[in-house]
Amino acid sequence: MFRIPPITKNLLIINVLMFLALIVFEGWGIDLNNVLGLHFFLASDFHFYQLLTYMFMHANFTHILFNMFTLWMFGCVVESVWGPRKYLFYYIACGVGAGVIQMMAQFGEFYSLMNSAIAGFGLDDFLQVAHAYRYELNAWTTVGASGAIYGILLAFAMLFPEQRMFIFPLPVPIKAKWMVCIFIAIDLFSALGTSGSNVAHFAHLGGALFGYIMIRYWRNHPGGGNYGRSRGQQFFDRMKDNWERRTHKKSNRWDRKDETRSESDWDYNARKKAEQDEIDRILDKVRRSGYDSLTEEEKRKLFEGGK
């Protein structure tokens, strides 16, 4: 646990503590899932805070076990790449987005049920009927971190699309990008092909959808991608960009120096390529883990490269 990044560690702890609290309060006759779970927005027990609290509640031990295992397995990697603030913002946003999509799906299901049961039913009658059934609608309660975790799965696949993984029961490794595509396809077909399921398939899809939108936005707006990174890390990002621009320009002074070198063009180009790759690696390490994570040798190379 001491090697788990701080946000992932705290998310794991909070989820486990809330599950223990659920068990304790059940002994006192209080159902925390009914209080903190996400009710349909037209139900009598719906509150806006449930869009946040529902993702820390779980239905049973199997539910929390699989969610927390997935969070630990993939969240540690994503947090290490993005940093804690950006990672936490992404996790919460995916969870809230998953809840919104789930309620939109419930809205569609409720309208479809009423439309088939009541002749001439239309949107004008919807609010009136929903108010009449507001207590029955409390049965539509969503709990679990699955929506946020689907966002984490998607982030891992977009960061490391070629990473090969073993997924039970497949006998061969599969790339991360195909793994996520399979999961999303299963949830999509399950959501469209079943009704009354205890699994919130649309919440899973909603978490992945919001995650995809955020990652695409950050990639298309590099300034937005700085969210959650310190000024020092942003400084080294700019330093890397400047280095890359300089290495693609050959000054006259460098040309005169090249005329006297004794090595072949092949060796010279290979050496310069290796030096640039090493500087890129060091700058990537600084961006991920900070300047203090560098060894003395890496600091020396970075200083010499900066000259």
- The model's confidence at residue 88, banded by pLDDT at 50, 70 and 90, is very high
CATH fold for the domain made of 6-225: Rhomboid-like fold (1.20.1540)
Q: Would you state the pLDDT for residue 1?
A: 53
Contact 50, 145 (CB under 8 A): no
Query: Is the per-residue pLDDT at 126 higher than 90?
Result: no
- Rounded to an integer, the average pLDDT of 190-215 is 82
Query: Is the per-residue pLDDT at 63 higher than 80?
Result: yes
Helix (H) or strand (E) holding 164: strand 164-165
Query: Is the per-residue pLDDT at 76 higher than 80?
Result: yes
Q: Would you state the pLDDT for residue 86?
A: 92
Q: What is the residue extent of each domain of the chain?
A: 6-225, 230-306
> pLDDT of 274-287, one tens digit each?
777 788 787 777 66
- In angstroms, the Cα distances linking 134 to 9, 41, 95, 139, 143 are 38, 9, 25, 10, 19
Q: Would you state the pLDDT for residue 307?
A: 53
Q: Would you state the pLDDT for residue 21?
A: 96
Cα-trace Rg, the chain: 26
The contacts of residue 238 (CB under 8 Å, 6+ apart) are none
Q: Would you state the pLDDT for residue 295?
A: 82
Contact 36, 54 (CB under 8 A): yes
E-state strands within 102-158? 141-142
Whole-prediction pTM: 0.70
Q: Would you state the pLDDT for residue 79?
A: 92
Spatial distance between the Cα atoms of 181 and 185, rounded to a whole number of angstroms: 6
Q: Would you state the pLDDT for residue 213?
A: 94
- In angstroms, the Cα distances linking 245 to 49, 75, 182, 225, 302 are 48, 33, 40, 20, 16
> pLDDT of 237-248, one tens digit each?
666 666 666 665
Q: Would you state the pLDDT for residue 222?
A: 67
State percent of the chain over pLDDT 90. Answer: 38
- Rounded to an integer, the average pLDDT of 164-186 is 82
Q: Among residues 210, 235, 234, 209, which one has the least CA distance to residue 224?
A: 234
The contacts of residue 55 (CB under 8 Å, 6+ apart) are 95, 98, 99, 144, 145, 147, 148
- In angstroms, the Cα distances linking 6 to 3, 11, 100, 254 are 9, 9, 27, 46
Query: Is the per-residue pLDDT at 9 higher than 90?
Result: yes
Query: Is the per-residue pLDDT at 229 higher than 70?
Result: no
- The model's confidence at residue 224, banded by pLDDT at 50, 70 and 90, is low
Tell me the one-letter amino acid at 23. I
Q: Would you state the pLDDT for residue 255?
A: 46
Query: Is the per-residue pLDDT at 49 higher than 80?
Result: yes
**Would you state the torsion angle of the CA atoms of residues 248, 159, 220, 236, taken in this order, to the nearest 10 degrees?**
-50
Mean of the per-residue pLDDT values of the chain: 81
Q: Would you state the pLDDT for residue 244?
A: 62
- The model's confidence at residue 251, banded by pLDDT at 50, 70 and 90, is very low
Contact 59, 33 (CB under 8 A): yes
The contacts of residue 49 (CB under 8 Å, 6+ apart) are none
83-114 burial, b for 16+ CB within 10 Å, e for fewer?
beebbbebbbbbbbbbbbbbbebbeeebbeeb
* Token representation of residue 145: 């971190």
- The model's confidence at residue 45, banded by pLDDT at 50, 70 and 90, is very high
Contact 144, 66 (CB under 8 A): no
Query: Is the per-residue pLDDT at 155 higher than 90?
Result: yes
